[in-house]
Amino acid sequence: MKNYDKLLNDLAPQKFGKKGVIWTISLVVLIVIGIIAYIDQVIKGQVVTNMNDYALWGVYISNFVFFVATSFVGTIAVAVLRLTKNNWRTPIVRIAEIIAVAAIIMAGLTIMIDMGRPDRLLNLFIHGRMQSPITWDVIIIPTAMMVSLLLLYFPLLPDFGLLNKYYKDKKPNLSKWYRIFSLNWTGSDAQKSIQLKSIQIIAILIIPVGFMLQTIDAWLFSTLYRVGWDSTNLGAYFISGAAVAGIGALVAVTYVLQKVYKLEDYITDLHFDKLGKFLVLVCLIYLYFNLNEYLIPQLTSKKGATTHINVLFVGDYAPLFWFVIVGGLIIPVIVLLFKKGRKPLPMFLIGLLVVAGSWWKRYLIVTPTLLHPFLPIQGVPQEWRHYFPSLHEWLITIGTLAMSLLIITILVRYVPIVPIQKTADEQEELELNKNTKL
Amino acid sequence: MKNNNTDSRRKFLDNGLKLGLITAIGAIGLTKIASKLNAKTSEASTGKMELMTTDGTIIEVDSSEVMEMEHSKKEAEYDVREGMPNRKFVMVIDLAKCKNALKCQTACNKQHYITGDHAWLKVYKMQEDTDTAPYWMPTTCMHCDQPACVTVCPVDATFKRRDGLVLIDNERCIGCRFCMAACPYSTRVFNWSEPNQGEITMLMDMENQTEHNSAEFAGLPSVKGTVDKCDFCPHAIKENELPHCVTACPNGVFYFGDKYEDTVTNGEETLRLSKLLADKNGYRLMEGLGTKPSVFYLPPVDRLVDFKEGLESFTDYKSVDKPE
C-alpha cells in the first residue's frame, strides 16, 4: 500500500493554481461571448453569418468536421495501441480518452449551430429517413459519444476507488463523490475481471465505431455531386486525416499537462519520442491520400476539377492550402524524423502546427468546393462569390473551441491524468521481473 | 402436471383460433351472398339498361345484373404529398427564342413574393467555351425524377410527388441545407433572415386557420431558416392555369404540359411533346448525373435574335428587384 502513497500524492487531481483559475475564467468568458453571439444568430437568423446560397456551409461545418476528426484520437491512441500491445501508452491513454470525449461532445453541439431551425431538432427523430447521410450521423454521433464516455469511465473505476480512500479524511465531500462514481470499487478479483472484460469489449467496439464515424462524416460530402467532394477516396482520406488531427491534439495537450502538473516522472521523453514516430506515420499516410485527392484529378484535368484545384494550388486559397500541406504535414514529418525533433518542446510546437493545419484543412474541404458549382454564379450579390466567416461565426466558433478546452480542463481537474492503479500495477510487475532476474 | 396443463391450454387456444377463423370466413361469405341477393331483389323488375363498354360500344344488360358500387374515396381526396392523380408535369424551354427579356423572372418574383437576393428563376448568360456561341438559358427547378435533394433530406421535408413536382414542406424543414449542397443546378435558396413578405404573410396566416398547406401554396409564406425553390406553381396548375413564367414570357420560350398527355403549351401554341423533342433535339441539363430532370431544353439554334440584345437587361449581381 505504501507504493500508492507516492503515486497518489503525485497523480491525484490537484486544485487549480493561479494560472489555472485565469485560464478557466478566460475560457468561460469566451464561451459566454460565443453563446451571446449564437442567441443573436437564433433571433436574427443566419443572416448574421457570411454564408449565402452558394457558400451554404461555412466555418460551422468545417469546425464540426474538425471536432469529429479530433475525437478519432480515442480510437487510434487507445484502442489501436492497446490491441497492438504497445505498453508505453499507459500514461497518455487517459489524456487521449479525455480529448476524445471533449471532441465528440463538441461535434454533437457544433452541428446544431449550423441548423437553420434548431427548434425543429426533434424532426430528425420524428420524421428521420434512413437514406439521408445526416440520419447516419444522427445515429453514429451519440453512439460514438457513449462508447467514448465508457472508454474513459471503465478504466477510471479503480482510480476513483483509490481516490475515495485517499480523500476520506482530508475531504469527505469529495471522497463521497469519488465513491459514488467508483461504483463501490473494492478491487476484488470478481470486480477486476468484469472491469477488464468491459474495457476489452469497449476497446474493440470503438474501432468500428470510430471508423464509421469518420467515414460517415466523409460521406456527408462524397454522396453529393460537387467537384472536390464527389470522390471515392474520401472515406479513407478522412480517416487518415482524423488520425493526424487526433495525434496532433494529443501531443499538444500532453505537453501542457506534463508541464502544468509536473508529471515529468511519468510522461517522459520516451513517450514523446513514440508519439512523434506515430505522428510521422499518420502524416505520411494522410499525405498519400492527399496525393490521390489532388494530383490524379489534376492529371486527367477535367474542366471542373482543374478549376477547383487551381483555386487551391495557385488561386485565392493557395496560401492557406500550402500552409496546410507544408506546415501541417511536410514540416512535421521532416522535423519529427530527427531525434532532437521528438523532444517535448519541439513536439509541442509541431503538435500545435498540426492542429492548426488540421483545422484549416477542414475549411479548405468545405468552402472552395461550394464556390464552384456546375452552373456559373450569376444574378446574386457580388459578395456571394467569396466566403470568409463573419464576426458572429468567429465568436461562436471560438466559443466552441473554448468549450472543448473547458471540458478537458474540468475533466483534468477531477480525474487523475495518469492512471494510478495501472501505473502501480506496472511498477509492481517491473519489480517482480527484477527480482526474478536476480 | 405443469406440462399437461400448458399442453391442454395450448390445444384449447389452437382449437379456439381455428374455430374463430372459420366463423370469420363464414361470416364474410354470408354477407357477400346476402348483398348479392339484396341487389337482385331490390331491382328485379326494372328491365333492361344501356351501358357503354371500355371499347366504346353500347350494350344492353338486364338491370338486375347491375349493382351500385361505392366510389373509392381515395381518388377524391387530394393528398399534397401524392399530387394530382394521373398527371406528370413537364416543361420545355426553347433556348432559340430566349432574348433575356426577364419578364419570367419578374413575374415569378412578384407572384412568389421573393424578398431574398436569389430569384427562383434565373436566366444565365451561357458560353460553354470561347470558341462556341453564347446564349441565354432560363433555369427553374428541374423537378428531377431522381432528385438528389430528396434523397439526402433527413426529415422528408422535401419530397417528390407522383405528378412529378418536387416540393418543400417548410413547416418541417430543419434548415440543414444538405439539399442545397446536393442540387447540381444550384436552384435552391435559403431564407437567411425573416422573409418579411408583407401582406402575403398576413393573408396566408388567415388561411392557415382553415386548411392551408404551405407546400401546396407555393411554399408561401416563406419561413426563416428554411429552404425555398421553384415549385412549378401547383396553385396555378390546380386552377388549370399555366405557371407564371410561362404566361409572362413575351417570346413564348416556356412550354408547360403533361407528359402523359404528350402535349405542352406556351399559351399560344400547343405541341406534341415527343415530336417537339425529337424534331428539335431536346435535351436535359447534366443528363450524365442521372437526375432525370422534368425540364427539357431545345438547343439555341437558328436564332432570330441577336444575343447582344439581351445584354442590356443582363445584371450580373442581381436577380430580385427590391423596393428602395
Domain shared by B99 and B182, yes or no? yes
Going by pLDDT thresholds of 50, 70 and 90, the confidence category of residue B27 is confident
Going by pLDDT thresholds of 50, 70 and 90, the confidence category of residue B215 is low
Q: How far is B118 from chain A (nearest CA, A)?
A: 6
Residue B238's CATH number: 3.30.70.20
- Note whether residue B220 is domain-resident: yes
Mutate to test the interface with A, among B150, B313, B317, B319 (most CBs of A within 10 A): B317
- Note whether residue B50 is domain-resident: yes
Averaged pLDDT for residues A73-85: 85
Domain range for B230 is: 89-311
- Gap between the Cα atoms of A214 and A79, Å rounded: 16
Average pLDDT taken over every residue of chain B? 84
Please, are residues B172 and B156 in contact by the beta-carbon 8 Å criterion? yes
Domain shared by B189 and B221, yes or no? yes
Residues 6+ apart with CB under 8 A from A301: none
Domain shared by B116 and B210, yes or no? yes
Domain shared by B58 and B178, yes or no? no
- Note whether residue B71 is domain-resident: no
Give the model confidence (pLDDT) of B264-287 as tens digits: 999 999 999 999 999 999 999 999
- Gap between the Cα atoms of B154 and B159, Å rounded: 11
Average pLDDT taken over every residue of chain A? 93
CB contacts of A369 in chain B (<8 Å) are: none
Domain shared by B23 and B129, yes or no? no
Please, are residues B246 and B233 in contact by the beta-carbon 8 Å criterion? no
Give the model confidence (pLDDT) of A19-57 as tens digits: 999 999 999 999 999 999 999 999 999 999 999 999 999
Domain shared by B250 and B116, yes or no? yes
pLDDT of residue B43: 47
Chain centre distance of CA B100: 27
Helix (H, G, I), strand (E, B) or coil at A408: helix
Q: Which residue has the higher pLDDT, A386 or B213?
A: A386
pLDDT of residue B73: 52
- What are the beta bridge partners of residue B60? B50
Q: Which residue has the higher pLDDT, B195 or A35?
A: A35
pLDDT of residue A87: 86
| Domain boundaries of chain A, sorted by first residue | 10-428
Q: CATH class for domain A10-428?
A: mainly alpha
Domain shared by B295 and B167, yes or no? yes
Q: Is B155 in Cβ contact with A123 (below 8 Å)?
A: yes
Helix (H) or strand (E) holding B79: none
CB contacts of B191 in chain A (<8 Å) are: 45, 116
CB contacts of B295 in chain A (<8 Å) are: none
B180 close contact with A: CB closer than 8 A: yes
CB pairs under 8 A between A and B: 148
Domain shared by B38 and B183, yes or no? no
Please, are residues B196 and B115 in contact by the beta-carbon 8 Å criterion? yes
Q: Which of A116, A134, A379 sits opposite B154 (nearest CB)?
A: A134
Give the model confidence (pLDDT) of A276-308 as tens digits: 999 999 999 999 999 999 999 989 988 889 999
Task: Give backbone dihedrals phi and psi of B169, rounded to 5 degrees, phi first.
Answer: -95, 95
Q: How far is B122 from chain A (nearest CA, A)?
A: 7
Helix (H, G, I), strand (E, B) or coil at A260: helix
Does the reported pTM lie above 0.80? yes
Q: Which residue has the higher pLDDT, A200 or B27?
A: A200
Please, are residues A400 and A68 in contact by the beta-carbon 8 Å criterion? no
B283 close contact with A: CB closer than 8 A: no
Domain shared by B113 and B202, yes or no? yes
Q: What residues 184-243 of chain B have any CB closer than 8 A to a CB of chain A? A: 184-186, 188-194, 224-227
- Gap between the Cα atoms of B49 and A380, Å rounded: 67
- Note whether residue B214 is domain-resident: yes
Chain centre distance of CA B80: 9
Q: Distance from first CA to last CA of chain B, Å, rounded?
A: 92
pLDDT of residue B2 exceeding 60, the answer is no
Q: Is A378 in Cβ contact with B125 (below 8 Å)?
A: yes
Domain shared by B250 and B108, yes or no? yes
CB contacts of B181 in chain A (<8 Å) are: 56-57, 224, 226, 370
B175 close contact with A: CB closer than 8 A: yes
Averaged pLDDT for residues A353-357: 97
Q: How far, CA to CA in Å, does B69 sit from each of A83, B36, B51, B60, B66?
A: 71, 12, 15, 19, 9
Helix (H) or strand (E) holding B158: strand B158-160
Q: Which of B139, B177, B186 sits opposite A116 (nearest CB)?
A: B177
- With CA atoms as reference, the chain A residue closest to B289 would be A225
| Number of domains present in the structure of chain B | 2
Domain shared by B113 and B261, yes or no? yes
- Note whether residue B128 is domain-resident: yes
CB contacts of A374 in chain B (<8 Å) are: 184-186, 286
Amino acid identity, position B320: V
Mutate to test the interface with A, among B125, B190, B226 (most CBs of A within 10 A): B190
- Gap between the Cα atoms of B34 and A5, Å rounded: 93
pLDDT of residue B134 exceeding 60, the answer is yes
Mutate to test the interface with B, among A38, A53, A126 (most CBs of B within 10 A): A53
- What are the beta bridge partners of residue B227? B190
- Gap between the Cα atoms of B230 and B183, Å rounded: 13
Q: Which of A45, A220, A379 sits opposite B122 (nearest CB)?
A: A379
Q: How far, CA to CA in Å, does B318 sit from each of A51, A88, A321, B122?
A: 17, 62, 32, 10
Domain shared by B41 and B116, yes or no? no
Q: Which of B126, B151, B181 sits opposite A56 (nearest CB)?
A: B181
Averaged pLDDT for residues B198-207: 63
